[in-house]
């Protein structure tokens, strides 16, 4: 049951042009976007990780299920992990029916997010092109387009002529290497302001009574009854978490910590088939808009879009070496630049302004792990690899349902942890490897 406005725990000011004008005229400032309450010693549920997944989970727990005694804990600041480091691409043109249905729902939620959360997340539905440079890639594009169509997702294969019309800066000439033979065109795909999504969920969750606690690091997950040391592991149940600010008792802990997911799960004695790799990204200085769509090339391991400020934002595939270091490498920017110039030779004077890295929790089948674990009360929403941001809203919605109902909704059944015991893996590798 969705809550109506009348049920809000406190009534913060709504954002609107009129409110901006009124405050501008009166010289009034805005109150805190989310409050800064004292950390309590007990909650109905604790979400670990203040990124878009954790915040969305908390928001939907409160909004859809009236579970509001919830704390979201983050060891740094909200959105400091993958949510603030991704390249903010939103799309639903996945390869498997499970992926298409899931990301399709996420796309819907992104579409209505500005109104739902009353914050402009600047979703720019500008179209998404996945280029094919080989016959084989073109075949996979056709396959994806067919699966997308069947799943109700707008997606089709287009030729070089049409590609050139959509993105004139692409070199569609008949080149020996990496010719552009066609593309999977996904008009509803686009980019969004990632920070605004984080703040929007935090603000909306705060309005419903959820507490956000930054600089609150979970040091241990407290369990009892499990077969492992400290009552952890299979057969046990969660009793709370230990943080750098003290212990919290809670029957439900939801792990939404992306790159640190396997470490936090290990605190509950839960092993995950996850390896953490850095994923690098970079941004150029701004120039006037010339790239009106998101462009992805799997063969060239690059995706690029131009923000509304005019910067090009680039990403590639994960670094080959597993590490928690986010310092980035020179090789990354060099390869990236070489590949981008293969696609758009005319922009060699654009200057790279900044590079960074985030951490990706990679699973063997490039699909997430969502739902229950062998430890009662310890739930995971992890394994989000390089595609977590675009799935944030739907993940929150579904995880909230898991917590509230104790059942796994159909939409996320394919992503259960148990699939690694039954072998029913999800085949998203083809669409996810660089497909942002």
| Footprint (CB under 8 A) of another protein, residues 313-372 | 327-330, 333-334, 336-338, 340-342, 344-356, 364-365
16 belongs to the binding site for another protein (CB under 8 A): yes
DSSP 58-69: HHHHHHHH----
Q: Is 180 left (phi over 0), alpha (psi -120 to 50) or beta?
A: beta
Which of positions 234-293 make contact with another protein (CB under 8 A)?
Answer: 284-290
Q: Would you say 218 or 340 has its CB closer to another protein? A: 340
**Under rule CB under 8 A, residue 211 binds another protein:** no
> Segment 382-421, which members bind another protein (CB under 8 A)?
none
Residue 32 interacts with another protein (CB under 8 A): yes or no: yes
Query: Smallest distance from the beta carbon of 194 to another protein, in angstroms?
Result: 9
Name the minimum Å distance from CB 84 to another protein.
Answer: 7
Name the residue among 278, 62, 90 with its Cα closest to residue 197. 90
Residue of 122, 166, 263, 275 interacting with another protein (CB under 8 A):
122
SS (H, E, C) 387-436: CCHHHHHHHHHHHHHHHHHCCCCHHHHHHCCCHHHHCCCCCCHHHHCCCC
Q: Check residue 135 for interaction with another protein (CB under 8 A).
A: yes
The smaller minimum CB distance to another protein, of residues 169 and 418, is found at: 169
Nearest to another protein of 56, 302 (CB atom): 302
159 counts as binding another protein under rule CB under 8 A:
no
Distance CA 404, CA 381 (A): 15
84 is an interface residue for another protein by CB under 8 A: yes
196's CB contacts (< 8 A; 6+ apart) are 119, 120, 121, 122
Cα 173 to chain center, whole Å?
A: 35
220 binds another protein (CB under 8 A): no
Residue 357 · residue 278 · CB < 8 Å: yes
Q: Would you say 239 or 367 has its CB closer to another protein?
A: 367
Scanning the structure block, which residue is given the tokens 């699973």?
363
- Exactly one of 1, 29, 38, 406 binds another protein (CB under 8 A); which one? 29
Is residue 152 exposed (0-12), middle (13-18) or buried (19+ Cβ within 10 Å)? exposed
CB nearer to another protein: give 10 or 351: 351
Size of the site for another protein (CB under 8 A): 105
Nearest 10 degrees: CA dihedral of 246, 249, 255, 261? 40
Separation CA 278–CA 323 (nearest Å): 7
Stretch that binds another protein, among 57-65, 195-203, 251-259, 393-401 (CB under 8 A): 195-203
Residue 141 touching another protein (CB under 8 A): yes
Decide if residue 214 touches another protein (CB under 8 A). Answer: yes
Picking from 209, 192, 220, the residue whose alpha carbon sits closest to that of residue 72 is: 209
The span of 57-65, 120-128, 238-246, 383-391 binding another protein (CB under 8 A) equals 120-128
Q: Which of 68, 80, 93, 257 touches another protein by CB under 8 A?
A: 80
CA–CA gap between residue 397 and residue 184 (Å, rounded)? 29
């Amino acid at each position: 049951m969705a809550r109506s406005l009348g049920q809000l725990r406190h009534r913060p000011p709504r954002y609107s042009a009129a409110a901006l004008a009124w405050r501008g005229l009166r010289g009034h400032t805005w109150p805190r976007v989310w409050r800064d309450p004292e950390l309590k010693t007990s909650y109905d549920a604790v979400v670990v990780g203040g990124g878009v997944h954790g915040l969305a989970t908390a928001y939907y727990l409160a909004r859809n299920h009236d579970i509001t005694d919830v704390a979201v804990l983050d060891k740094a600041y909200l959105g400091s992990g993958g949510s603030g480091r991704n390249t903010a691409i939103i799309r639903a043109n996945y390869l498997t029916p499970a992926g298409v249905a899931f990301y399709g729902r996420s796309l819907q939620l992104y579409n209505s997010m500005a109104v739902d959360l009353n914050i402009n997340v600047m979703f720019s539905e500008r179209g998404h092109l996945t280029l094919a440079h080989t016959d084989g890639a073109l075949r996979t594009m056709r396959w994806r387009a067919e699966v997308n169509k069947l799943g109700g997702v707008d997606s089709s294969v287009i030729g070089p002529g049409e590609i050139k019309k959509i993105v004139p800066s692409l070199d569609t000439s008949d080149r020996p290497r990496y010719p552009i033979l066609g593309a999977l065109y996904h008009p509803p795909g686009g980019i969004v302001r990632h920070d605004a999504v984080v703040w929007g969920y935090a603000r909306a969750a705060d309005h419903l009574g959820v507490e956000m606690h930054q600089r609150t690091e979970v040091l241990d997950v407290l369990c009892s009854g499990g077969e492992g040391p400290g009552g952890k592991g299979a057969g046990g149940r969660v009793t709370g978490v230990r943080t750098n600010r003290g212990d919290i008792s809670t029957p439900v802990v939801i792990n939404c910590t992306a790159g640190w997911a396997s470490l936090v799960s290990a605190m509950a004695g839960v092993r995950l088939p996850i390896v953490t790799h850095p994923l690098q990204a970079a941004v150029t200085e701004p120039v006037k808009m010339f790239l009106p769509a998101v462009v992805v090339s799997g063969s060239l391991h690059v995706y690029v879009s131009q923000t509304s400020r005019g910067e090009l934002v680039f990403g590639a595939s994960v670094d080959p070496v597993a590490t928690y270091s986010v310092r980035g490498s020179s090789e990354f920017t060099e390869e990236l630049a070489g590949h981008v110039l293969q696609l758009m030779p005319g922009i060699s004077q654009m200057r790279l302004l900044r590079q960074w890295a985030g951490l990706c929790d990679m699973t063997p089948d490039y699909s997430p792990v969502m739902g229950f674990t062998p430890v009662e009360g310890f739930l995971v929403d992890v394994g989000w690899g390089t595609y977590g941001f675009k799935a944030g809203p739907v993940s929150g919605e579904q995880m909230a349902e898991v917590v509230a109902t104790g059942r796994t909704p159909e939409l996320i059944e394919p992503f259960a942890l148990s699939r690694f015991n039954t072998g029913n893996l999800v085949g998203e590798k083809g669409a996810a490897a660089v497909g942002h």
